Chains A and B, each alone.
Chain A
Amino acid sequence: MDDTAFVIAGRRFTSRLIVGTGKYPSHAVMAQAHAASGTEMVTVAVRRVNISDRSRESLLDYIDTNKIFLLPNTAGCYTADDAIRTAHLGREAGLSNWVKLEVIGDERTLFPDTEALLEATRVLVRDGFVVMPYTNDDPIVCRKLEDAGAAAVMPLGAPIGSGLGIQNPNNIRIIREFIRVPLIVDAGVGTASDAAVAMELGADGVLMNTAIAGAREPAAMAEAMKHAVIAGRLAYLAGRIPQKLYATASSPVEGLVNR
């Protein structure tokens, strides 16, 4: 059925699945998973070059940047200043002015510091970035991020790497009603059904890393995620039936031979 295009800051994507590049058993397995997922955008982290050991292969040798758009992140940053600095380094190292903005507030949960996140969003938007903030599932914060100029808003489904699935589905639905920019559920997906649920709730896309990279067969899970995102999107567009407590027969109740 007809769908509106998935467009972020004027750039059109066919796939609604954004995939990470961390924690795969090898770069080769990552490349297979990316291909199987059909993704057109992958996240990368910005880190110091290892000066003493130059033997390790470059991640970029395993990403076809003609087909896959690179989205640098600010993972590991705990202040707005660190995130802003890292975003600028990512822009220089890469090919675009896009950033997945993370400002983490707590090491154990990796929950975002939304106050610092808002501050960093304002600064980076002013500096000409396309800002995609990773945030919590608070509709008010999401609305403030949109007002601050975020090109998309990316609430978590559950803590990063937890695989718990969408913990607060009602908030995702409310966020969808609150904001006009794309809503991307980022983090918390554990398996394909979680990705489908995110899309059924009205998300425009899903971003995941561990669910694919940590699966026993990353490429197979990546393919499952591709189908789940497509299925969830279709179900959202198709309009699900209302939930009822009691049964409603699907077969006619008239004309039974034994009456």
Chain B
Amino acid sequence: MFITLNGEPHELDGPLSIADLLTKLSLDPRRVAVEHNYAIVKRKLFPDVRVNDGDRIEIVNFVGGG
């Protein structure tokens, strides 16, 4: 299946949770925020929210800024 991840097409093997996706991407769930189809997902719900074909996912973190 394909999702749109941070604005780019991204192929995944099958439906999975946000937590699974972060693990796949080697991202620390404590250091990112996730939007699922334009709605923010609370960190404690990462294991419960399913990512499905065609979904739009945004994953952000902190970078240097003023």
Contacts and interface: CB of A to CB of B under 8 A. Distances in A.
Interface of A: 20-24, 30, 43-49, 51, 54, 58-60, 70, 72-73, 75, 88-94, 160-161, 187, 207-210
Contacts of A72: 62
A45 B35 contact: no
22 contacts: A20-B66, A21-B65, A22-B64, A45-B64, A45-B66, A48-B60, A49-B61, A51-B5, A51-B6, A51-B59, A54-B26, A60-B31, A72-B62, A73-B66, A75-B65, A75-B66, A88-B40, A91-B33, A93-B31, A93-B60, A94-B62, A187-B66
B12 interface: no
Interface in B2-58: 5-8, 10, 25-28, 31-35, 40-43, 58
A93 B62 contact: yes
Contact of A70 (B34, B35, B62): B62
Contacts of A54: 25-27
B33 A93 contact: yes
A43 B65 contact: yes
A59 B66 contact: no
Contact of B65 (A44, A48, A60, A94): A44
B42 A92 contact: yes
Nearest to B5: A51
B63 A45 contact: yes
A90 B33 contact: yes
Contacts of A58: 28, 31, 61
Contact of A51 (B10, B31, B34): B10
A29 to B, nearest CB: 11
